[in-house]
């Protein structure tokens, strides 16, 4: 059910019976020494595809760049400013609204996107009585958090987490063939957000935030992705998406 793999006529037919679009959003940023740069958009897109398959809903291509200014001191990271991100979301949604889409489910893989996403929804809804929006940060789902707490205890952390690294290990096994999975010491510095890129690198020099991604496994990733997809599908039914 990927929008990118459909023709415009197939999408027009879809819109005759369903006006829901799933939009995966993530970021291109560092995830510590053993996490992939694309972790946030990979997890969001793969979980979205599971949801699309199970719920028979269209999934848009993922938005692979997000608000990640605090990661820019780490090589390879890229970011949109919050104001730019808000405008990108508004432009995309307005495009799809013109064609008849009304229900927009954003499945998010990056914490830095939350504030600009909700702000963009508020701007779009000004004077709009028909569109519906829902934002799901998949790692915030209770079912996911309960599982991660059970298996990773207090080592999951807040960035380059055991959970998100596990999910990427499951979906992208070849990318980890040349990455050594090691155990990490966990530091918990006291910080005040937001952080600049320089401050982020100072407090978290290898990019991890209170995590030990050495605990990550592909098997855990499969379970976490399935838990997230199942919960999102249940929620969609209750919302009428």
CB of 61 closer than 8 Å to CB of 3: yes
Per-residue pLDDT of 160-187, as tens digits, reads 999 999 999 999 999 999 999 899 999 9
- The H or E element containing residue 134 is strand 132-137
Tens-level pLDDT at each residue, the chain (241 residues): 999 999 999 999 999 999 999 999 999 999 999 999 999 999 999 999 999 999 999 999 999 999 999 999 999 999 999 999 999 999 999 999 999 999 999 999 999 999 999 999 999 999 899 999 999 999 999 999 999 999 999 999 999 999 999 999 999 999 999 999 899 999 999 999 999 999 999 999 999 999 999 999 999 999 999 999 999 999 999 999 9
Q: What is the pTM of this model?
A: 0.97
Angle at 69 between CA 187 and CA 76, to 5 degrees: 85
Place of tokens 């993922």: 62
Closest CA to 113 of 63, 147, 53: 63
Place of tokens 């978290």: 204
Give the full edge-to-edge strand order of the sheet including 20-25. 58-59, 20-25, 103-108, 132-137
Angle at 1 between CA 90 and CA 21, to 5 degrees: 25
> What's the rounded Cα separation, in Å, for the pair 210 and 158?
6
């Amino acid at each position: 059910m990927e929008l990118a793999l459909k023709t415009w006529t197939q999408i027009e037919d879809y819109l005759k019976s369903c006006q829901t679009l799933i939009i995966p959003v993530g970021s291109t940023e560092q995830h510590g020494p053993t996490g992939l740069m694309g972790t946030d958009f990979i997890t969001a897109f793969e979980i979205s595809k599971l949801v699309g398959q199970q719920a028979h809903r269209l999934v848009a291509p993922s938005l692979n760049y997000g608000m990640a200014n605090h990661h820019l001191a780490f090589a390879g990271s890229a970011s949109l400013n919050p104001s730019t991100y808000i405008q990108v979301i508004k432009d995309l949604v307005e495009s799809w609204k013109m064609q008849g889409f009304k229900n927009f489910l954003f499945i998010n893989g990056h914490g830095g996107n939350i504030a600009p996403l909700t702000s963009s929804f508020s701007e779009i809804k000004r004077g709009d009585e028909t569109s519906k929006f829902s934002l799901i940060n998949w790692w915030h789902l209770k079912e996911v958090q309960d599982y991660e707490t059970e298996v990773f205890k207090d080592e999951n952390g807040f960035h380059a987490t055991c959970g998100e690294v596990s999910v990427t290990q499951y979906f992208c096994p070849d990318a980890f063939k040349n990455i050594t999975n090691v155990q990490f010491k966990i530091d918990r510095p006291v910080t005040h957000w937001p952080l600049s890129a320089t401050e982020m690198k100072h407090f978290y020099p290898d990019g991890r935030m209170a995590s030990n991604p050495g605990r990550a496994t592909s098997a855990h990733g499969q379970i976490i992705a399935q838990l997230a997809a199942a919960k999102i599908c249940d929620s969609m039914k209750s919302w009428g998406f």
